[in-house]
A and B are shown apart, each in its own frame.
Chain A
Amino acid sequence: MARSSSKDAQDLFRALWSAYAATPTNLKIIDLYVLFAVFTALIQVVYMALVGSFPFNSFLSGVLSCVGTAVLAVCLRIQVNKENKEFKDLAPERAFADFVLCNLVLHLVIMNFLG
């Protein structure tokens, strides 16, 4: 029984991985970027858990910058994905320009809040 469930898990994982391999490279880059942002946030949370939240604003701004940029990257991915019917008419460059602009604004706010 256990053997079959672990085998099922492995099969499931392999199937997911092969399906994922089919995605276009630019989307994979964006996914990687999101993962990077999330990991950075996690490390910051672990640090805060260790040493306490004394300059709380700094912690918040650090975490929120990661989360924010991840969210913006997800939006970019949605807009750039060719299979997404909703954004068919939107040029990917335009989406990228929005991404860059929003990131710059986010980071200005973050820097101000960082203290």
Chain B
Amino acid sequence: MARKLGQLLALLFSVSICGAVTIPGPVSDAHRSAASELFDGSFSSLEDAYEALRVFEILAVGNKPDVSAATCQKVVENLGPSSLVKDLFYALKVNSILKCKVNGGVFKDVASRLKAAVNDASTLVDMYYSIGSLVLTKDQASDVDVLLTDADGTFHSIKALSQSDGRWRYSSDNPESSTYAAGLALEALAGVVSLASSEIDQSRVNTVKNDILKLFDSIEKYDDGTFYFDEKFVGGREHQGSLSTTSSVVRGVTAFAAVTSGKINVCWDKILGLAKFFLGIGIPGDAKDFFNQVESLALLENNRQLYGDISLFFFFLFIDTLISSSTPANLSNTMYLGFLLVVTCCQNPVLMSENSVRVTTVFGSAAPPLTVNLVRAVRTDAKDSAIIENKELQYDKKNGIHVLEVFPDNADVGAYVFVFEIVLDEPAGEKVYATGGQIHVPIFVTGIIKVSNAEIAVVDSDLGSVENQKTLDLAGNDVVSFSANHLQKLRFSFQLTTPHGHTFKPHQAFFNLRHETKREHIFVVGNTGKKFEIILDFLGLVEKFYYLSGRYDIELTVGDAAMENSFLRPLGHVDLDLPEAPEKVARLPPLPVDPYSRYGPKAEITHLFRAPEKRPPQKLSLTFLSLTLLPFIGFLVGVLRLGVNLKNFPSSAVPATYAILFHLGVAAVLLLYVLFWLKLDLFTTLKTLGLLGAFLMFVGHRILSHLASTSSKLKSA
């Protein structure tokens, strides 16, 4: 009875752990409800309408909004003669799902328009839309002639844009190659092959197959076996993220595989890695991402030509939390791994009473009859000895899960790896389904770790004598308080034991001292053999503690993934008496600032303006101004007294004008200088001065030469 109760409790406990771990699940009802929310019926374009309808179609969503009337109207509008090829493409795509009532003649016009467009198209995107539209027209109106007369030429012009690494360019004048474009090109080529009136040369098809293989060579991967495609040149004009690029490639490759006979030998683990990539996204929040994910998974699931003779149906193996049946040690699941494993966490806790595994396809539907074998289970640190070998899981038909009945008793707390294998019951199924090799799943066996023999003491460093020793019961709530000075040491030790009695080494064992000023010092507790011990020699730590005396709070942290009772426990406090900081010691480093305070208001900056110079009182300045004019008056008076006269002023007209102009010119220059001081700038002044100067030179020369000739005449006469 107690055992059963313990099991049930452990069950519930493990269920809670399982909820915390995020594992990619198969497409489930959560996906469907998210789809109904995301695609809510308000479509801004036919592209969005198509994405929504296709998602609803693949996921078989029940309550989808009914928008057929409005959308069909848009479709009919866009099938008219004036629409762009891109709109035509999406209109036809929507029509293939909604099957609106369209006039037969419309398709004929559309087909002839498209055939002309195919011939005129120069860029990859144009060719993609026009050929795609022709293929859709062929499916929707079987009587219309859509076959391409020059299929070889179209094939060649698309192929001409391919690059040597399997990527494609968007047009002949754009040197950037793109993986997304490769996906578009492959779909377009598939369309050409299906629309060719005469058979395309097989050697050309083979070159395209080689291109696909080269493209797959450039696939990128994550460490857990997820494969995806990404663009090499980031930030190009047409840059798409890794999800769009990968789904474009999947669309292209599956379309091409569908129209060609024979196989394209892509490594199957790459295909599985691609499926993992799409599932690993979980439930996307963006409509386009959602569409890309769901459509790519559907295409991968249904495509048979990609890998040799075997088509791939993806199986998703779910591993639930495992519970030990005997001891309180629990197994908690970690993450899903292996290629087709999707872990669902138990919807119904009562069912998952023991280790259980659920196998489904990617969209959650049932798998064919098969058996799940646990090949071996080993501890990660003791890989040689397995605790379980070759155990078959029992199939519980009612719930559709495979159960591991008995868990070995000698499994101690720690990390394990479980290796599973799927074996199909019907050998003929091998041709239809692919299961793949061994699936490694890391599992943690958790348990309660016993902490015992905790002792804390203050030791005198010279003599080694223990001044003050206390034992602590870490399970309880006791705390200790000590006082120590810098000449002493603090010693703390404890032991950790697993339920099976072995010593346990946790991932984290930290001893933390925090001062009143909130400065923390963290030390790692090391272990020697059975005991964990730390000795803090305060003499060496004085500088590290910044010479701060006072009360330090002690905390102990012990934690591990396999430890169910990881703890962070305050142990009490120690009053440290450290010596004074010497003068040379650098200032205390500042306390870590609250990182959000940097967004708060900053300190006010007060500007210190240069104090203006003291100016003299205005009256004094004006007095001196008038004083400055005095010498000038004195000059005028003196000159008059000397008998200055204008007798030499020329009397005849022409020289007189020159004389007047000369004086005016000089006055003008002086006036210019005054204006320059008042408001003009140097350049204007220089310009004007140049003009005035030239004038002045001319006039001055005339008058002065006249005067000179007059006086020389007088002299000679």
The answer to whether the Cβ of A36 comes within 8 Å of any Cβ in the partner chain is yes
Contact across chains for A107 and B631 when beta carbons are under 8 A apart: no
> A54 touching B615 by the CB < 8 A rule?
yes
Residues of A within 8 A of B638 (CB): 32
A94-B642 contact given A39-B634, A43-B627, A100-B666, CB 8 Å threshold: no
**Residue of B with least CB distance to A112:** B682
Which residues of the partner chain B approach A54 to less than 8 Å between Cβ atoms?
613-615
| A97 interface residue (CB < 8 Å to B) | yes
User: Which of A43, A44, A52, A111 has the largest count of B CB atoms less than 10 A from its CB?
Assistant: A111
Tell me if B568 counts as interface (CB < 8 A to partner A).
no
Given contacts A43-B628, A108-B673, A111-B676, contact A52 B614 (CB under 8 A): yes
Q: Is A91 an interface residue (CB 8 A)?
A: yes
Chain B residues, CB < 8 A from A33: 635
B644 sits at the interface (CB 8 A) = yes
Chain A residues lying within 8 Å of B635, measured Cβ to Cβ, are 32-33, 35-36
Query: Does B707 reach chain A (CB closer than 8 Å)?
Result: yes
The reply on A114 being an interface residue by CB < 8 A is yes
Looking at the complex, which one of A25, A40, A93 makes contact with B632 (CB distance below 8 Å)? Answer: A40
Q: Name A114's contact: one of B631, B670, B677, B708 (CB within 8 Å).
A: B677
Q: How far is the CA of A92 from the CA of B709 in the complex (A)?
A: 11
A104 close to B (CB within 8 Å): yes
Query: Once the chains are docked, how many angstroms separate the CA of A35 from the CA of B633?
Result: 12
Complex Cα–Cα for A47 and B625 (A): 9
> Do the beta carbons of A40 and B631 come within 8 Å of each other?
yes
B464 within 8 A of A: no
Main secondary structure of the interface of B (DSSP, over half): helix
Does A1 count as interface, using CB distance less than 8 angstroms?
Answer: no
Tell me the smallest distance from the CB of A7 to a CB of chain B, in Å. 28
> Are the C-beta atoms of A111 and B677 separated by less than 8 Å?
yes
Q: Does B116 contact A (CB under 8 A)?
A: no
A-B contact count (CB 8 A): 80
A52: B residues at CB distance < 8 A: 614, 616
CB pair B673–A97 under 8 Å, yes or no, is: no
B704 touches A32 (CB 8 A): no
Cβ–Cβ < 8 Å partners of B191 in chain A:
none
Asked if B428 CB lies within 8 Å of chain A CBs, one says no
Whether a CB of chain B sits under 8 angstroms from the CB of A2 is: no
**Given A36-B634, A93-B704: A50 and B616 interface contact (C-beta under 8 Å):** yes
- Least CB distance from B673 to A in Å reads 5
Interface residue count for B (Cβ, 8 Å)? Answer: 37
The verdict on B643 contacting chain A, using a C-beta distance below 8 Å, is yes
**Contact A43/B704 with A29-B642, A100-B666 known, Cβ cut-off 8 Å:** no
Closest A residue by C-beta to B643: A25
Inter-subunit contact B639/A29 (CB<8 Å): yes
Closest-by-CB residue of A relative to B710 is: A93
CB within 8 Å of A: which B578-630 residues:
613-616, 620-621, 624, 627-628, 630
User: When each residue 672-686 of chain B gets 1 if its CB lies under 8 Å from chain A and 0 otherwise, what string results?
Assistant: 010011000010010
- Cα of A32 to Cα of B634 in the assembled complex, Å: 9
Q: Is the CB of B669 closer than 8 A to any CB of chain A?
A: yes
Whether B704 contacts A36 by the Cβ 8 Å rule is no
Check A96 against B628 for contact (C-beta < 8 Å): no
Q: Does A51 contact B (CB under 8 A)?
A: yes
> Do A32 and B639 have beta carbons less than 8 Å apart?
yes
**Complex: A23 Cα to B615 Cα, angstroms:** 46
Measured between beta carbons, the chain B residues less than 8 angstroms from A39 are 630-631, 634
CA distance A107 to B643 in the complex (A): 28
Which residues in A have their C-beta under 8 angstroms from that of B624? Answer: 43, 46-47, 50
User: Is B700 interfacial (CB-CB < 8 Å)?
Assistant: yes
| Chain B CB within 8 A of A14 CB | no
Which residues on the A side are within 8 Å of B704 (C-beta)?
Answer: 93-94, 96-97
User: Which A-B residue pairs are the 8 nearest by beta carbons?
Assistant: A51-B616, A36-B635, A39-B631, A93-B704, A93-B708, A47-B624, A32-B638, A36-B631
23 A-B residue pairings within 8 Å (CB atoms): A29-B644, A32-B638, A35-B631, A35-B635, A36-B631, A36-B632, A36-B635, A37-B631, A39-B630, A40-B628, A40-B632, A43-B628, A50-B616, A51-B616, A51-B620, A91-B712, A92-B711, A94-B704, A96-B704, A100-B700, A104-B693, A107-B673, A108-B673
Residues of B within 8 A of A (CB): 613-616, 620-621, 624, 627-628, 630-632, 634-635, 638-639, 642-644, 666, 669-670, 673, 676-677, 682, 685, 689, 693, 700-701, 704-705, 707-708, 711-712
With A91-B712, A96-B704 given, name 13 new contacts (CB 8 A).
A29-B642, A29-B644, A32-B635, A35-B634, A36-B635, A39-B630, A43-B630, A47-B627, A91-B708, A92-B711, A93-B704, A104-B693, A112-B682
